[in-house]
Amino acid sequence: MSARWDVIGVGANSIDFVYRLPGRPAFDAPETKMRIAGRATWCGGQVATALAACAALGLRTKYIGAVGNDEHGRRMLRELSGRGIDIEHVVTRECENAYAVILVDDASGERIVLWDRPAALALTPDDLPADILASARLVHVDDVDQPAAIAAARLARGAGLHVTSDIDRITDQTWDLLRSVTVAILAEHVPAALTGERDADRALVKLRRGCAGMLCVTRGRRGAVLLDGDRVYRAPALDVRAVDTTAAGDVFRGGFIRALLAGWPPEAVLHYANAAAGVSCTRDGAMNSVPSPADMHRFGEPDP
């Protein structure tokens, strides 16, 4: 029987209040006070944005997460649904939606993220429809609500599915999450924090001792590194002028998932994911920055 969904994402969403600044703010310099160059409100969040990228690149997608019962939560549902992402199993809580204040340096496109999320939005293992998770080709989780992410990963892995991740913080449950997924995609600082090894390649080799699947590290302007078995693959970042780097990691994961499900070899998967992230950096916002196949073609990328 064919899978109903290509990708089910389990994790966070956010309403992003984005402020463009004429420089990088600093607490101990004249830049403690500066005029805002521009502002906007966009939809984002780790898993929600990764799913938006998957949907834009042609995959059938479903989101499992929690939203608030305020206007921002309703806006998030409209945005997801409008992008063709199924929201049937999104739960609504009696609280405000998660949000972030994002400060973007107009000169470099680099950003600082300040966020808040009511405790009531926490997703729990009881919120997970086990039969639905097993109806996908791949499940993608983040590390925001780790008990739910671990439970979803184990359910999906038990059904023989790919399980990818977005891991960018260290807690007492990080190792459990790493061991539960089949493709661990980590922020640059995570391997060193887990292993004490600052060299990216050696850190991945150390992580391999506890994790059997693929291990990937995103490195911003330096591209990404992937360990598959005993072989290390590297791919450079796309050479673009960055406008806003906010969603680059999330879109990287969307591109990675698209190429992985197409059955591409690891080096090609990594290259495609980097290209998707690079395209996203040329645009404002999180979900607004996701590339289409036509966008990828303009940068020389074939369809998976």
This prediction has a pTM of 0.95
Domains and their CATH numbers in the chain: 5-12+44-96+120-298 (3.40.1190.20)
**Residue 167 DSSP symbol:** B
Each residue's pLDDT expressed in tens, for the chain with a length of 304 residues: 578 999 999 999 999 999 999 988 777 777 678 899 999 999 999 999 999 999 999 999 999 999 999 999 999 999 999 999 999 999 999 999 999 999 999 888 888 999 999 999 999 999 999 999 999 999 999 999 999 999 999 999 999 999 999 999 999 999 999 999 999 999 999 999 999 998 888 888 899 888 888 999 999 889 999 999 989 999 998 888 888 888 899 999 999 999 999 999 999 999 999 999 999 999 988 999 999 999 999 888 888 8
- Which strands, in side-by-side order, build the sheet including 111-116? 38-44, 14-21, 99-105, 111-116
**In whole angstroms, how far apart are CA 106 and each of 21, 38, 41, 62, 83?**
6, 9, 16, 34, 28
Distance CA 41, CA 30 (A): 27
